A and B are shown apart, each in its own frame.
Chain A
Amino acid sequence: MGLTSQAAASTFADETRTNASLTKFLHGLPGVDQVGADERAAMLSTRSIKTSAKAEGIDLAISMIDLTTLEGMDTAGKIKTLCAKAQRPDPFDPTTPSVAAVCVYGDKVAQAKSYLTGTSIQVAAVATAFPSGRASRAVKLLDTSDAVAQGADEIDMVIDRGAFLEGRYLDVFEEIQEVKVACKSAHLKVIFETGELRTYDNVRRASWLAMIAGADFIKTSTGKVAPAATLPVTLVMLQAIRDFHNAGQRKIGMKPAGGIRTTKDALRYLVLVKETLGDAWLTPDLFRLGASSVLNDLLMQRKKLQTGAYSGPDYVTVD
């Protein structure tokens, strides 16, 4: 990442001066051809990936997972088993790569961190009154800096969808900027909750808004709202990332989250990334899968390729 987020903000200084200028810029972005986006995503998802390419794809997908638990009933024990699984997804096979990160609520960061010391696995925390984002800005910022103080390497924030839909883009913009400052060195992922944004045009606008404001990653959803990540929405966001980079800006990462359950789903996302952004983005630094159940399916598929026999849920850990 050669360019800093400040550089982006200064490049777009005119556009982000007032809500009116920001609205003019965002609404001036070319509209998304909905039918075209749906068709392209559907067409790319028919691609068949076999044998050695599939094996590589599975290992790559495992190494990109943000292994997530975001439940009210998360216990210390749950965090511990999650962290153990993150390091060694398949205890019987040490050649299995570890995942990219574990993603937890802010109050579980210190715990997760303690189980992951000495590993390259990042700890991501959701913040800013996740998942609704309905709290005052002061609370959101405190939520963020608290998670960072506990040692979070990455922060997953939610945008204020209400403000976005009301057209108060500048409020959303400034909030992302302030959260980015509160993150200090932690990476910032911005969640749009695309299921609540209604249109692909809104998804494209939100993508640009977040990227200009300083997001390191843009992320589809919280996983608490249906529909969560879909292929066409991810495609629209990947195209925004591509256009942003082509405009001489930083490389932004992408994280689809929620609803990704099977190996086939995961591989389809990888195809989408490769076809839209190229090999440069096929790294855990720039692409993540927000999911937990998909890991077991990836492990079963991995076993199938190794042994030639179908595996079953009895041979992977219960989450």
Chain B
Amino acid sequence: MSEHIEVRRTAKLFIGGAFPRSESGRTYEVKSPEGKFIANVAQGSRKDARDAVTAARAIQPKWAGATAYNRGQILYRIAEMMEGRRAQFIDEVSPWAKSAKKAEAEVDEAIDRWIWFAGWSDKIAMVVGSSNPVAGPFFNFSVPEPTGVVAAIAPSRPSLLGLVDTIAPIIVSGNTVVVIASEDAPMAAVTLGEVLATSDLPGGVINILTGSYAEVAPWLASHMDVNAIDLSGVENEKVAADLEKAAAENLKRSLRPGIELDGLTRIKNWLELKTVWHPRGF
């Protein structure tokens, strides 16, 4: 047998359930904090973001229309698939983690997070929704509905846990998401895309872009077909302010950076309450 030559992975984007290279053909070098070369990763462009929004929009009604039970099962399945790649994830977050132990802890927590959010899928409507007292012969209900297509900039650290914490509460209720992963530590995000592709998640529900958020995020913020934007990962205040301004054009629901939210509030943040009146029987 001849000597095995290592077959290296091409780190690509995850759009519409497929793994395209960037439309621009660009890649960028990812290096460890010590300056060691790790990989060349696709550098997403505004057109990749546009394609991702198209994919996210196309699948959104179907994803929102799936039963809460089904969505929960799929989130659970994501955790299962991540578990199988645990060693790889640890390897990929460790250059940026303080210690090997911390890297392990981050990956385990990220897997657990999917389970935690999966459990919420068929309970959120009961917790957030309500039957309201009204002065008349009517039932009055408030029911939560997903906002639609959400754009998100994931925090740069922790690169995997931060990403999961961003996207899981968005999609659990039926939203779809276009997320820009940590720019300098994107390796775990690339692997997460490969996990999602094998988790029964319909293509387009989660779209992962790698590259510069300063370059791509403005196109998402100004995109008229995006309904909400999560700016959690934006570190530069000036950029955050500009993105908020652009997002205001079509009244996007925005989440400012630097706001700590618990998991349930994170889910609620991407819901709209619809209140309906229904005549009571005689």
Contact = CB atoms under 8 A, between A and B. Distances in A.
B222 A313 contact: no
Contacts of B225: 310-314
A309 B57 contact: no
B38 to A, nearest CB: 33
A109 to B, nearest CB: 36
Interface string A179-201: 00000000000000000000000
A315 B224 contact: yes
**Per DSSP, are chain A's interface residues mostly helix, strand or loop, or mixed?**
loop
Nearest to A312: B225
A308 interface: yes
**Per DSSP, are chain B's interface residues mostly helix, strand or loop, or mixed?**
loop
A31 to B, nearest CB: 38
Contacts of A311: 224-225
A186 B57 CA distance: 43
Contacts of B53: 310
B86 interface: no
B85 interface: no
A210 B48 CA distance: 44
Interface in A34-59: none
Contacts of B246: 309
A310 B57 contact: no
B266 interface: no
Contacts of B57: 312-313
Nearest to B223: A310
Nearest to A309: B222
Contacts of A308: 222
Interface string B240-280: 00000010010000000000000000000000000000000
Contacts of B249: 309
Contacts of B157: none
Contacts of A315: 224
B219 interface: yes
Contacts of A314: 224-225
Contacts of B219: 309-310
Interface in A260-319: 308-315
A315 B249 CA distance: 13
A314 B53 CA distance: 14
Nearest to A311: B224
A311 B225 CA distance: 6
Interface in B196-240: 219, 222-226
Contacts of A312: 57, 223-226
Contacts of B226: 312
A315 B57 CA distance: 14
A315 B223 CA distance: 12
Interface string B48-89: 001001000100000000000000000000000000000000
Nearest to B53: A310
A269 to B, nearest CB: 21
A313 B56 CA distance: 13
A302 to B, nearest CB: 13
Which of A309, A310, A311, A312 counts the most B-chain CB atoms under 10 A from its CB? A310
B212 to A, nearest CB: 18
B192 to A, nearest CB: 26
A309 B246 CA distance: 9
21 contacts: A308-B222, A309-B219, A309-B223, A309-B224, A309-B246, A309-B249, A310-B50, A310-B53, A310-B219, A310-B223, A310-B224, A310-B225, A311-B224, A311-B225, A312-B57, A312-B223, A312-B224, A312-B225, A312-B226, A313-B225, A314-B224
Given A310-B225, A312-B226, 10 more contacts: A309-B224, A309-B246, A310-B224, A311-B224, A311-B225, A312-B57, A313-B57, A313-B225, A314-B224, A315-B224
The 8 closest A-B pairs by CB, nearest first: A312-B225, A309-B222, A310-B223, A312-B224, A311-B224, A310-B50, A315-B224, A309-B224
